[in-house]
């Protein structure tokens, strides 16, 4: 299994590019990249704002005929049909931003205590939160792929109930795994998360093999029943 991380604008080697502040333009760009570069089978995992983007990029791929993933994994974000309360990170003072991030947990103390660094990061954080919080859910048919959700038991923005609501967005299998911790519990319990992901993908691979074996068996039966004389004729003609 190979991991392919996504690097949105504003970070590292893309730090000079304009930031996305709405989900639509972001997922259209990402869907185009997936269509051009990703080969099936593959799965998508998204945490927090990334979970919303993962969901919407699959919808975009379905609309444009792109390759669909075999599984969606989401973490730390309520189901998309539940709106979020805007936090207005852009309008916060640096001490307010420090308090906000501290309540979410997961940000190192060295960053929280460096107000110069927080001020530099604020536009990037505000853009990320704008993508997430200014999203408007448009009802559509549920996805036809399994969804697995991971939720922190003490996550202040994504409760068990709100994570369980992801079930409404698929006609396939759904699983919810609760983790000890808050918004960044997937990092605190990374070995368990990795194991659950691997198990889900193994199940998908097993079902795919069984499905292909079943099709091969049916095709072979059809050939024996009605296609044997044609196959023999073709073989004779070939000789």
| 233 to 69, 216, 224, 229, 237: CA distances (angstroms) | 41, 22, 14, 6, 6
Classify the C-alpha dihedral 129-133-134-139 as positive or negative. Answer: positive
Classify the C-alpha dihedral 21-23-28-31 as positive or negative. Answer: positive
Tokens of 32: 């185009």
Q: Which candidate in 48, 93, 206, 229 is catalytic?
A: 48
Q: What's the CA gap between 85 and 134, in Å, rounded?
A: 9
Catalytic-residue membership of 48: yes
Q: What residues are annotated to the active site?
A: 48
């Amino acid at each position: 299994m190979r991991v392919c991380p996504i690097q949105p604008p504003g970070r590292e080697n893309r730090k000079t590019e304009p930031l996305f502040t709405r989900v639509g333009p972001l997922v259209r760009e990402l869907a185009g990249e997936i269509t051009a570069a990703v080969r099936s089978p593959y799965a998508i995992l998204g945490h927090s704002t990334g979970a919303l983007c993962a969901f919407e990029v699959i919808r975009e791929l379905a609309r444009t005929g792109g390759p669909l993933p075999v599984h969606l994994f989401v973490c730390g974000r309520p189901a998309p049909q539940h709106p979020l309360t805007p936090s207005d990170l852009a309008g916060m003072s640096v001490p307010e931003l420090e308090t906000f991030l501290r309540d979410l947990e997961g940000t190192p103390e060295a960053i929280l205590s460096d107000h110069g660094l927080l001020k530099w990061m604020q536009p990037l954080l505000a853009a990320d939160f704008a993508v997430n919080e200014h999203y408007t859910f448009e009802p559509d048919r549920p996805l036809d792929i399994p969804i697995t959700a991971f939720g922190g038991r003490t996550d202040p923005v994504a409760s068990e109930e709100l994570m369980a609501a992801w079930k409404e967005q698929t006609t396939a299998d759904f699983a919810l795994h609760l983790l000890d911790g808050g918004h960044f519990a997937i990092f605190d319990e990374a070995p368990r998360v990795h194991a659950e992901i691997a198990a889900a993908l193994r199940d998908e691979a097993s079902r795919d093999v069984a499905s292909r074996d079943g099709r091969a068996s049916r095709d072979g039966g059809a050939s024996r029943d009605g296609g044997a004389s044609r196959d023999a004729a073709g073989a004779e003609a070939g000789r």
